Amino acid sequence: MSGSLDLSLLPAPTIVEVLDNETIVGRQKATFAALWQAVRDANPSLNLPDYDVLMLETDPIVIGNEAESYRETLLRARINEVGKANLLAFARGGDLDHLAAFYDVVRLPGEVDDRLLTRVILALQGRSTGGTAERYQAVAMAADLRVRDVIVYVVGRSPLIHVAVYSTDPNGVASADLLAKVDAALQDPTVRMVNDTIEVESAVLSVVNLSADIWFLPDADADTLTRAEENLRSAWATARALGRDLTESWWTSKLMIAGVHKVKATTVGDIVVPPASAVSIGTIVLTNKGRAF
């Protein structure tokens, strides 16, 4: 999502401790050995043996120690989960709903966690009432679940604010009714700055055709070519977004599935996409150059 903070780049939270069950077992063994020795020293008349806690795995003391150590590991792991549930980077489901509500963001019907998380981050980044891009992005995404991505931009020194909507509909083209809903949300007097003129539009869609020569390994089956194309289309359907360039190195790598030896693009160069545009793959022509050896 445009302008969104990448929470994966944050350092690991110190509230979450790294657990090692074997370390806990070793500590418990040492504690038992010390206590046993203390009892022997304090009560010599009992003639207690020099107990070896490293005896057989079937020893009752060993079994009890390992069971208690495992229980402690599970308890501390649960404490880790509770701590992580209070952090945006890890909260999911109902935990994320409660964190979102704290920032006045409510999950839309059918909205998945990742999208809700994006809206929470945008809401935080756009807390200023000064008509920031993030604020307008957050409002646009809250208008309808069909808004997959949105970018806010100006052209040169023009005061006109463009809001380009990338839809979940086929090819990302936003329908007229979706644009109307987003526009109504942004034109609300409580949202739009008095001096802002906002124009809502569908993201410009470019369709590009790709072609490449492809060589196969000796064990490649007859369907390898078809699977390679399907893999590329599936990967781009997931990665495609506003402003996302379609680079030659990226799309040729998606053709390198099992059974493929080499791919050489015959479509020249990278497809550079402007910030308010999204690119769709049209035809994919793969020329079978035979077995590599």
pLDDT of residue 130 exceeding 70: no
Digit-coded pLDDT (tens) for 45-90? 988 887 766 666 778 888 898 999 999 999 999 999 999 999 999 9
pLDDT of residue 131: 66
Rounded CA separation 277/152 (Å): 12
pLDDT of residue 3 exceeding 70: no
Domains observed in the chain: 21-85 (no CATH), 111-202 (3.30.300), 206-291 (no CATH)
Between 58 and 245, name the one with better pLDDT. 245
User: Could you tell me if 225 and 282 are in contact, meaning their C-beta atoms sit under 8 angstroms apart?
Assistant: no
Q: Is the pTM of this model over 0.75?
A: no
Digit-coded pLDDT (tens) for 4-56? 678 888 898 999 999 999 999 999 988 988 998 899 999 989 888 877 666 66
